[in-house]
Amino acid sequence: MPIPWKRSRLNLAPQARSIPLRILLVVPFVVQVFGTVGLVGWLSLRNGQEAVEQVTASLRTEISDRIDQQLQRYLDVPLVVNQVNANAILMGYLDLDDPASLSQHFWNHHDLFPSLEVSAMYLGRINGEFTGLGFQANQQWEVGRSGDETGRIFTSYSLDQLGRPDQVLGQTRFYDPRLRPWFRSAMQAREPTWSSIYPDFKERRLKVTLAQPLYTMERDVLGVIGTDFVLSHINDMLRSLQVSQSGQTFILESSGLLVATSTEDEPFVVEGDRVTRLAATDVAHPLIQDTAQFLQAQFDSLEDIGRRQQLEFRDRSGQRQLVHVDSVSYGNNLNWLIVVVIPESDFMGQIYANTRTTITLCLLALVAATLVGLLTSRWITYPILQLSEASRTLADSAARASLSHSETLPHIQVRNITELRGLADAFNQMADQLQKSFAVLEQRVEERTAELLSEQQKSEQLLLNILPQSIAHQLKQNQTSIASAVEEATILFADIVDFSPLASRLPATELVELLNNIFCAFDHLVEKYRLEKIKTIGDAYMVVGGLPVPRADHAEAIAHIALDMQATIRTFIRDDGEPFRLRIGINTGPVVAGVIGSKKFIYDLWGDAVNVASRMESHGTSDGIQVTQSTYELLRHQFVFESRGIIHIKGKGDMQTYWLMGRQACLESA
């Protein structure tokens, strides 16, 4: 009875659905490769997108904060200017009926504040009289007056070197300060307030005014003092920011009107003599227009936008745009929205390229896996087919029920199947071990790559801290000798007067901290004027203009920084209560610049011009800026000089030198 049962089981086997061994070997292998590569590619794309969002969010926030800080710095100055002028008037130092004394007062204070932050200061009286001092678009200071003396016609005057009006430049049209937006805003608020943005009376530009009403002790209105800030300076500041390849920034009011933009578009249009402000949705630049339309659609009112909003949308072309919006306030009646928009494609280009590469590699891997699987299956099935053939031969012999001694029977070695099974087991174990080893190795490679990248970034930053960028680039190109001869550069040496006696009295930590604070302040000035700091030796400071990148205004930039350094050093007070003082020497001439040394290298200058500049400093006087004849010839039309005469310079003989006294007075009016 057991025999039929066995035969029935054997007879069922051929009826079951069979799958060729080659398919079993090829298909799972191909699916595994395709799935693994596809999953890795998808995860790579997804992780790249998340990384881009995080990086761009930090970048957008940083740019917005920088804009906010710069605007705060711009708009803080008018408050100080107004308070100074108000105090002078209310304390009786100025006669309101004497326009000359008012304009002279404004002139005496105009150089205390940069024209970038204060373009005009003026007084409009309740009786309609107006006196002001303004910095015009032609880079000239002018006095503007309107009242009974001028027939209520706005009249502009040029100024002499002492700030006194000397001749009439022109008359425009009827002008009553009481009708101006700044006057009305101050009267309505009855306290210091910012006006709405309005067109300039004389020129085609927009401005905003910090206006402050003046009252007598009996609360009678005397008039309104104002300080203007020109919005084109914000445009320049926004354009100077590096957002991304095609990213943009702009500022708008909650009404939707544009304040400033990083594009070349102006926030207004001119129709005849009329200047009309533009809404952000009406500007020509498509990215700013799309962003403004998105914000208006996203919020019921732009006033609902709070602090630090991170948003995203797709523009008219379907591109994903990443947006940062920040609502900022700078005092009464001055509330703006800072918008930073960055196209995702600026950062995703490489990631998309990597994704396309991954897909291509996936297809190639699929084809390769199929071919390899077919070859492998053939190699594995060949001995199995031999075993099958041998089994059939043996079955045929058994069916005949007779075997002759001369008949050659196939030799069946069961160990062949065992070897195949053992080979498969060994391969699986090896594959598992390789996979584990690859994962560990990949993790180690990633960690080591991240460490190397971090160290490389630190090294590059340290290199840029001690060398100019162009010189550092040459060093990274393995140039053995870095030197260049420059036909003309301007060198400045500065030395703190009487610092050695003070150094002997101060503890070492306080001494180093003091020098660090002073030199850090000088470093900011070097960055401001795009100059190159060479080195510091003790309490001495060396700067050069025109290196390593040549520039035509190197002497002018050095003169500006010298004057600013003198002003800066006076803000530092000695232990005896007196301010520190500088002795500065400047010379212009040919120099040789380069890097010396193989370890602890330094970018330095050589040449007779350097020695003469050093002599100018050592033979100078406290608070003095001594320049040579060559520097004087380059700057005499832009700056005020005083001849020192001929002095004897060690190693050079007699030389004609000059004292740099200040900048030439710029003639402009309000």
Burial class (CB in 10 A: 0-12, 13-18, 19+), 122: buried
In 3D, which of 284, 238, 315, 313 has the Cα closest to residue 70? 238
State the pairing for strand pair 268-271/274-277: antiparallel
pLDDT tens digits for range 178-225: 999 999 999 998 999 999 998 888 888 899 999 999 998 888 899 999
Contact 555, 531 (CB under 8 A): no
What mean pLDDT value characterizes the chain? 82
* Distance from C-alpha of 670 to C-alpha of 367, rounded to nearest angstrom: 77
Query: Which residues in 160-267 belong to E strands, given as ranges?
Result: 165-174, 193-194, 198-199, 206-215, 221-230, 248-253, 258-261
**Average confidence (pLDDT) over 116-123:** 84
Tokens of 160: 């002499």
> In degrees, to the nearest 5, what angle opens at C-alpha 617 toward C-alphas 611 and 622?
175
Consecutive H or E run containing 620: none
Is the pLDDT at 235 greater than 80? The verdict is yes
Contact 402, 372 (CB under 8 A): no
Beta-bridge mates of residue 596: 602
**Average confidence (pLDDT) over 357-366:** 75
Consecutive H or E run containing 369: helix 345-400
The pLDDT, as a whole number, for residue 8 is: 42
* Distance from C-alpha of 420 to C-alpha of 422, rounded to nearest angstrom: 5
* Distance from C-alpha of 59 to C-alpha of 48, rounded to nearest angstrom: 16
Question: Is residue 1 helix, strand or coil?
Answer: coil
The pLDDT, as a whole number, for residue 463 is: 53
The pLDDT, as a whole number, for residue 209 is: 92
Contact 588, 490 (CB under 8 A): yes
In 3D, which of 494, 499, 643 has the Cα closest to residue 568? 494
The pLDDT, as a whole number, for residue 669 is: 36
Beta-carbon contacts of residue 522 (< 8 Å; ≥ 6 apart): 494, 533, 541, 543, 565, 568
> In degrees, to the nearest 5, what angle opens at C-alpha 46 toward C-alphas 41 and 49?
125
Query: Tokens 């101050």 identify what position?
Result: 186
Instruction: Give the pLDDT band of residue 154 (cuts 50, 70, 90).
Output: very high
Tokens of 595: 């890097």
Contact 570, 438 (CB under 8 A): no
Alpha carbon dihedral 574, 577, 579, 580, in 10-degree steps, equals -20
Is the pLDDT at 308 greater than 70? The verdict is yes
pLDDT tens digits for range 622-669: 999 999 999 999 999 999 999 999 999 888 899 999 999 999 874 333
DSSP string, 32-94: HHHHHHHHHHHHHHHHHHHHHHHHHHHHHHHHHHHHHHHHHHHHHHHHHHHHHHHHHHHTT-S
Percent of the chain at pLDDT exceeding 90: 32
Beta-carbon contacts of residue 422 (< 8 Å; ≥ 6 apart): none
Whether the ω angle into residue 548 lies within 30 degrees of 0, i.e. cis, is yes
Neighbours of 346 (CB within 10 A): 16
The sign of the CA dihedral 213, 214, 218, 221 is negative
pLDDT tens digits for range 379-431: 666 667 766 676 676 566 555 544 454 555 555 555 555 555 554 555 455 54
pTM for the full predicted model: 0.50
Burial class (CB in 10 A: 0-12, 13-18, 19+), 496: buried
The pLDDT, as a whole number, for residue 268 is: 86
Longest CA span, the chain: 145
In the chain, the amino acid numbered 292 is A
* Distance from C-alpha of 389 to C-alpha of 440, rounded to nearest angstrom: 46
Query: Tokens 């010189």 identify what position?
Result: 471
* Distance from C-alpha of 195 to C-alpha of 209, rounded to nearest angstrom: 5
Question: Is residue 196 helix, strand or coil?
Answer: coil
In angstroms and rounded to an integer, the radius of gyration of the C-alpha atoms of the chain is 40
DSSP string, 126-176: TTS-EEEEEE-TTS-EEEEEESTTTTTEEEEEEE-TTS-EEEEEEEEEE--
* Distance from C-alpha of 449 to C-alpha of 446, rounded to nearest angstrom: 5
